[in-house]
């Protein structure tokens, strides 16, 4: 720690492919960090579930009852990101900053040229404005941690599950960590990314029956997370919003990175109070996720962001 007065400790859990690293970081701004029993209640909380490389058309045709339930209970939009790189790094950066690659500077998975200092992540924006709120990033792909720790400040909790995402057990471990965080700490904002569908998509493409099987496996983990949210909401009276989003699609034979309609296919599902149930083609884009999270927490939505919050009945958006 430095010689300045330390007012806050942030716990970051960094899991790499080889080992678990537990890092305790300190900042010199803000108030006492949200601890396991002090996450702020009485305000809206948001969980964003990222399904890497998943196409909504295939979700609709799969035996995926949990995702189908969210589609029925919330609003959804299938959107093309044509013109934007159909690669995970740029797309997750857009989802977690609210601006496109032309602004945040991420054009591939190296993150070289990232301008997170100019366009901070949603984690950083929350921590700067309301440092007492608890933020968490729990992901299968290690590239998510590059965004969540970009700061300063970084997310309170950053977890990457070690292992090859071609194995469905890896996403299951990620979901287990997410459920534990929700049940124990009730974070104000939690982002998770599940990678199995993308890994299988690279092997066989969307035409392979394995791709649909992968969606059905991941649907189980989505169900576990949503069940944890709903149970906590019932027990505490907290108001939770669930967003599900994909970063890109896949070609019929496997792979992405080009500009074909399959590769540029993304979607957003939003379920929460005031969001019209069953609405389709709602016009959401990847850039709307960060503004939605900020608005849910009652924080300012900067005019520089490319997206806008998902509309709700009776909700005014902070200027």
pLDDT of res. 43? 66
pLDDT of res. 313? 83
pLDDT of res. 292? 98
Domains of the chain as residue ranges with CATH: 51-296 (3.40.720.10)
pLDDT of res. 315? 57
pLDDT of res. 299? 97
Burial pattern 170-194, b for ≥16 Cβ within 10 A else e, equals bbbbbbebbbebbeebbbbbbbbbb
Write out the two tokens for 89: 């790094």
DSSP string, the chain: --SSPP-EEEEEEEE-SS-EEEEEEEESSSSSPPPTTT---SSEEEEEEEETT--HHHHHHS--HHHHHHHHHSEEEEEE-TTS--SHHHHHHHHHHSS-HHHH---STT-TT--TTTS--HHHHHHHH-TTS-EEEEESSTHHHHHHTSSSS--SEEEE--S-TTSHHHHHHHHHHHHHHHHHH--SEEEEEE-HHHHHHHHH-TTSHHHHHHHHHHHHHHHHHHHHHHHHHHHH--EEEEEEE-S----TTS--SS-STTTTEEEEEEESTTSPTT--S----GGGHHHHHHHHTT----TT-S--PPP-TT-PPP-
Q: At what angle do helices 168-185 and 196-204 cross, to 10 degrees?
A: 160
Q: Which residues of the chain are under the pLDDT cut of 70?
A: 1-43, 314-319
């Amino acid at each position: 720690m430095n010689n300045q007065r330390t007012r806050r400790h942030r716990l970051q859990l960094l899991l790499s492919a080889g080992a678990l690293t537990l890092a305790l970081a300190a900042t010199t701004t803000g108030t006492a960090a949200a601890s396991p029993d002090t996450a702020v209640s009485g305000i809206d909380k948001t969980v964003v579930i990222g399904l890497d490389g998943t196409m909504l058309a295939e979700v609709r045709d799969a035996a995926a009852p949990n995702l189908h339930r969210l589609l029925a209970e919330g609003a959804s939009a299938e959107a093309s990101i044509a013109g934007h790189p159909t690669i995970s790094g740029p797309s997750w950066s857009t989802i977690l900053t609210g601006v496109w690659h032309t602004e945040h500077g991420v054009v591939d998975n190296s993150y070289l040229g990232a301008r997170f200092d100019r366009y901070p992540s949603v984690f950083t924006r929350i921590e700067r404005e309301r440092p007492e709120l608890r933020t968490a990033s729990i992901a299968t792909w290690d590239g998510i941690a590059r965004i969540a720790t970009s700061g300063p400040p970084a997310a309170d909790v950053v977890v990457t599950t070690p292992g090859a995402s071609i194995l469905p057990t890896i996403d299951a471990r990620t979901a287990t960590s997410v459920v534990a965080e929700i049940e124990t700490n009730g974070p104000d904002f939690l982002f998770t990314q599940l990678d199995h569908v993308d890994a299988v998509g690279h092997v066989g493409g969307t035409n392979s029956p394995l791709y649909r099987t992968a969606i059905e496996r991941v649907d189980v983990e989505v169900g576990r997370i949503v069940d944890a949210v709903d149970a906590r909401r019932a027990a505490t009276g907290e108001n939770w919003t669930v967003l599900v989003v994909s970063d890109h699609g896949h070609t019929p034979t496997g792979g992405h990175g080009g500009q074909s309609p399959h590769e540029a296919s993304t979607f957003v599902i939003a379920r929460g109070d005031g969001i019209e149930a069953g609405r389709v083609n709602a016009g959401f884009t990847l850039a709307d996720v960060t503004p939605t999270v900020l608005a849910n927490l009652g924080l300012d939505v900067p005019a520089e962001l490319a997206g806008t919050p998902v509309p709700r009945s009776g909700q005014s958006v902070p200027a």
